[in-house]
Structure 1
Amino acid sequence: MSRDSGFLSRLFSTLLGGSAKQDVTQKGQELLASYQRELSDGNGDPESQLTRVLDQLRAYWELESLRWAAGTSSSGIPVRFSGEELGSITWHPEDSKLEESRRSLLVILAGLAAPYLAKVAESQADPLQRWQSERADMVTGLLNRPAFMGLLLNELAKPSGSAGLTSVLVTVHIQDYTKLYTDLGGNGYDERIRDFSRLLRADFGLHSTAGRLEEDMFAVLICDLSNPDKAASMSAAFRNKVEATLELDVTAGIAPRVDLYSDPQIWLNDARTAVKQAEERGGQQAFFSQTMQMHSVARWQMETDLENALEAGQIETWFQPIVHLPGGEIAGYEALCRWTHPEKGGIRPDEFIPVAENDGSLILEIGQLTLREACETLARISERNGTAPFMSVNLSPVQLKDSQLPKKILAVVELAGVNPEHLKLEITETAVMHEREKAIQALERIRETGAQLSMDDFGTGYSSLAYLREFPISTLKIDRAFVSGSDLDEEAKEILRTIVEMAHSLDLKIVAEGVETEGERDLLAELGCEYGQGWLFAKPMPAEEV
């Protein structure tokens, strides 16, 4: 017996058992062995070959019909590959009582055929359909970010200003989209975004192409405009329609193409800068201006300085103690990133971290550096004191999207020789409300490393009791805005009391940030808050002083 027949013989024995009829096991085995050899040789069409085998089985079993049908079907034996149903093997209704042994043989046949039929389907797929699946946003059908960036690159490769026409990039930001998600739920939110996208695709003219860059950020490239001001009037009309029909607040940034653009990312950054400028001024849209150009140049200069700072070791990790309020002893530390520029001196994290996040790769490098130095300091403190405090380290939303983050965490803790359970990784409300389901999956993978998770700056976003239950967190950090002056304000006291009770109902520990007075400390302890952090206890300090 050939190798193919031997394999099928074992498969038949396993699936059909020893009680199968001779006509099934012997004849079926011969036909399937022949079919498998033909598939392996790569000669002929797998679909035609499958049809021929089914015709032979139909005649041998004396059935009314037995055939292969492409597409999904509610009857018969499905032929699936990688979760996709390619078709099914069906028979005549009068043969509905097909013997179990024959059904099992057809299951084997379907399994043999599936990978070969999948290749055929892939090769015959509509090129446009393949392009859409690879290049389009799954929810809206708009171009995804890589595809849209490719579109901008192609546009910049063309001569600018030909025939007196120009192109304009418009970025559109949906305001408070996390609240929208909370109010509508996942399905309702997706449907609203699809309606928004249909308007975006239709309202900027025939020479426009739209894309979805992020959950809440969209863009439109408008080509062949005689006057960039036309883009502004289109944008204004679009915003008015969206606000009237979909009840969405949106802002827009408009960046006409200029000769200086060679990198599509710079063009996009300028359009996004215009969006931010519009939001800061309380307006609804803004053109990218010369003043913004200066800010853009400054941002790119800071990115360059950051790259140099990382190479020169100017980025350091400092540590601020976190105190156990009932006893007053240090229970842990938070690792904080610090940058001392050789000429400009200390640069605030809220100035350089957003720049690093905008770049993407820079924040990943900074995040890994901070995590490594935090674990090294944790190991040193544990060895010195004989007990290990917990170490809190902030995670950027960019890091949270990094599929390799769990492996990086495990590598760092193993190298430092610390227990990952002593690590508390802090995430923000905004970070996890972006694509909430994906964020929860990412957090679950992080928890599998043994590290704990903490929700940072609670109260500044849109988290609610219902959503907090979904996240695998163990600690809640109350933002300093709720702590400052709380001992002197009755309303502030009640807000704090509510947050503490809510957190405890979820079995969460609480860290209060920004504790600066003894009155605030005493109130927090009275309310049952476990930990406090702030200048009352200690300012951030370099690693050698911890």
Structure 2
Amino acid sequence: MKKRNIGVLDYLTESLVNPLYQHDLYATYHLLAPALTNTEIQAIYVFDSQGALFHDGQMYPKNLGVAIQNTAVLDSVINRKKNYTAVDNHTLTIAKPILLGNMLLGGVSLELSLKQINNDIDQMSDIFLQENQQSLKSITLILLLAAIVLSFIGLLLSIFISNSLVRPIQALALHAKQIGKGKFDLVNSVQRNDEIGELAQSFNKMGKKLKARTEEITFLAYHDSLTSLPNRPMFIEHTSKLITNCLKTHQKFVVLFIDLDDFKMVNDNFGHKAGDHLLCEISERIKGHLTKNNMTPPHLDDALIARIGGDEFLICLPQIRVEKDINHFTQTLIRKIRAPITINTEQVIVAASVGIAKFPNDGKNAEELIKNADIAMFQAKKVGKNTFSYFTLEMDQHIKNRAKLERDLRKALVNLEQLELWYQPQFDLTNNTLCGAEALLRWNHPELGIIYPDQFISIAEETGLIIPMGDWIIQSACKQLKQWKSQLNGQPFHLALNMSARQIYQNNPTGIFKRMLKKYQIEAGNLHIEVTETLLMRDENEAKSMLNAIRQLGVEVWLDDFGTGYSSLAYLRHFEVDGLKIDRSFILDIDRGIYDKALTSAIISIAHSLDIKVVAEGIEKQSHIDFLKQQQCHFGQGYFYAKAIPANEFSEQFLPNM
């Protein structure tokens, strides 16, 4: 039983890496549900690195987050990162850690019922006992009769009994041992019409059932339950064997990593059942393309397709080595995937991004080839999706640099000493006086020096680090306003802060604004927040509710980068804002481009019509100021006045002049 189910456990620990890392309960349920159909498995528990239950295979886990009761399992899997096996009279328990590289994500525990085995043992023991008792009676009676009639006849009968009873039982005992070793194909040769014959047939049937069940479990361990394609473990095993052969023959092959673009939108719009249907259709298209392509050679020996989770597929192409053929194969595959698919009477189109890694240049083993093909796939998404990209060493270095930045950023957020707010002044264009500043985040890295937001904000957004970082920015800006209050001599002055999507949608920033305004005793009107149209597009109703709550505090809300989005006028109609910021791209070419002049004038005119203020960024020349004054733009900022500078420099350079 342990040998049969170790395969299931290995499959689960491999397959659950992404769902456990991403806290995807739905994907976890679909991975556990097929295993629970095995009558031997009475319970599956997936738990995180703290020992808390993550999933138990039910549609709605009842004890989600509750600590696992079996402390022996937790001690072995979490503390020692080792497999665990224990057996009692009723249950066989096996468990194994789930690792992402060397990082422990959690573990999986299978509880296997011994009820059927114990029943079989009891039944077979009863059968043997009955048969032995009956045999002993027969032997005793025959011996008595033989002793009375003739000792010679008794001897003949004894030989007959030995041949007819002991040898079949010995044969059955040997058969039972072979079944226990996993040799289910063996058939005993006992041919009798009595109870021993029935027992022999039962042994044969038991071997066939165990073989079928073992084959079913083996299939589940090496195949995707939705599409029946091979899974990641089988792909790795297949590719590893291919690598061994290629090292001997000096041949090359490629691995393709396929990820569907915007697949989540299908699940969100049509439901997960429709998404599963789409994945099955896509898998059929990939298989069809592999078996019916018109390339040379016409058939691909040792090629393999695998689904490794979610909307990700792998292809191993051992017979395609010329880059021209690889390009043709991949381009045709992308076109076939992009063909419309009917879901609920609607035509749905999904694209695919493909990353390509070559053996042996891009990896020496299966895991490395998959990883590098994955990196190339992300590059294909980065350049616009619906295309393919080959792996390069520069991509790998970029990923490593990004990973190092993420690690360093997490360290920096422990005590926040490396983060700084720099300030770029904003001037009132009507009288050329300082009226405020935009607070801009800088990371003073101990090794790399000053790092600008465009290099690390996206990492903070993806990892959720932007939330504590955003709280720190609000607090630091309020604290700075408090410190500058005495130097301002009552003159109007504001600080503008940029807000991210996660801060708006996940953190409810009104609470920290209230606390910081009260703590540092500053007027809410001295704070402006700037939001982009991209932020508003995610959930207009939620964004409107949150921004209105912030405005009710007295904090002004400004629309940043106005004119660069898709629906600027629509957002002005739907959202209440206190001002607009004209993107610097309009201002930089205002001397040469009549379109930029016209658009800038139109934006300022719209702001006047709506009775809201407008600030222009990117001012670098006196001519920019002259034009903006002529158009009655309220405020301006740019290198003409100053770049963003640290707080102490800002104070020395600008505040004494107030």
Q: Same fold (TM over 0.5)?
A: yes
Partner of 2:353: 252
Aligned-partner SS, 1:521: helix
Partner of 1:278: 383
Q: 1:172·1:275 contact (CA, 8 Å) conserved in 2? A: no
Q: 2:479·2:520 contact (CA, 8 Å) conserved in 1? A: yes
Structure 2 distance, partners of 1:415, 1:252, is 50
Q: Where do 1:70-89 residues align within 5 Å? A: none
Structure whose CA Rg is larger: 2
User: Structure 1 residue 331: deviation in Å?
Assistant: 1.1
CA spacing shift, 1:283–1:158, aligned 2, 3 Å = closer
User: Structure 1 residue 247: deviation in Å?
Assistant: 9.2
CA spacing shift, 1:312–1:260, aligned 2, 3 Å = farther
Aligned-partner SS, 1:401: helix
Q: Deviations over 1:208-261 (max 9, x none)?
A: 8899xxxxxxx60337x655999986544222448xx96979562548996369
Q: 1:196·1:246 contact (CA, 8 Å) conserved in 2? A: no
Structure 1 distance, partners of 2:435, 2:462, is 34
Of residues 300-309 and 166-175 in structure 1, the stretch that sits farther from structure 2 once superposed is 166-175
User: Structure 1 residue 420: deviation in Å?
Assistant: 2.0
Quick one: higher RCO (CA 8 Å, sep 6+), 1 or 2?
1
Structure 2 distance, partners of 1:287, 1:241, is 27
Letter of the 2:588 counterpart: S
User: Structure 1 residue 320: deviation in Å?
Assistant: 0.9
Partner of 1:371: 474
Aligned-partner SS, 1:445: helix
Partner of 1:48: none
Partner of 2:613: 509
- 1:383 aligned to 2:494? no
Q: 2:232·2:307 contact (CA, 8 Å) conserved in 1? A: no
Q: Where do 1:86-485 residues align within 5 Å? A: 159=233, 161=235, 164=238, 170-173=258-261, 200-205=278-283, 220-222=311-313, 235-241=334-340, 250=351, 252-254=353-355, 259=367, 270=375, 273-279=378-384, 284-286=387-389, 290-310=393-413, 311=415, 313-361=417-465, 363-387=466-490, 388-485=492-589
Q: 1:253·1:274 contact (CA, 8 Å) conserved in 2? A: no
Structure 2 distance, partners of 1:449, 1:268, is 50
Partner of 1:109: none
Structure 1 distance, partners of 2:566, 2:387, is 23
Q: 1:320·1:539 contact (CA, 8 Å) conserved in 2? A: yes
Q: 1:164·1:226 contact (CA, 8 Å) conserved in 2? A: no
Structure 2 distance, partners of 1:153, 1:298, is 30
Letter of the 1:371 counterpart: I
Structure 2 distance, partners of 1:494, 1:196, is 48
Structure 1 distance, partners of 2:632, 2:272, is 46
Q: 2:239·2:366 contact (CA, 8 Å) conserved in 1? A: no
CA spacing shift, 1:327–1:404, aligned 2, 3 Å = same
CA spacing shift, 1:240–1:292, aligned 2, 3 Å = farther
Aligned-partner SS, 2:506: coil
Structure 1 distance, partners of 2:623, 2:349, is 43
User: Structure 1 residue 533: deviation in Å?
Assistant: 0.6
Structure 1 distance, partners of 2:457, 2:554, is 27
Structure 2 distance, partners of 1:259, 1:369, is 40
Letter of the 1:222 counterpart: F
Structure 2 distance, partners of 1:484, 1:344, is 30
TM-score normalised according to structure 2 size: 0.49
- How many residues align structurally? 377
Letter of the 1:327 counterpart: N
Q: 2:356·2:388 contact (CA, 8 Å) conserved in 1? A: no
Q: Where do 1:43-58 residues align within 5 Å? A: none
Aligned-partner SS, 1:528: coil
User: Structure 1 residue 468: deviation in Å?
Assistant: 1.9
User: Structure 1 residue 492: deviation in Å?
Assistant: 1.8
Aligned-partner SS, 1:259: helix
Letter of the 1:274 counterpart: Q
What's the RMSD between the two structures over aligned residues? 4.5
Aligned-partner SS, 1:203: helix
CA spacing shift, 1:334–1:524, aligned 2, 3 Å = same
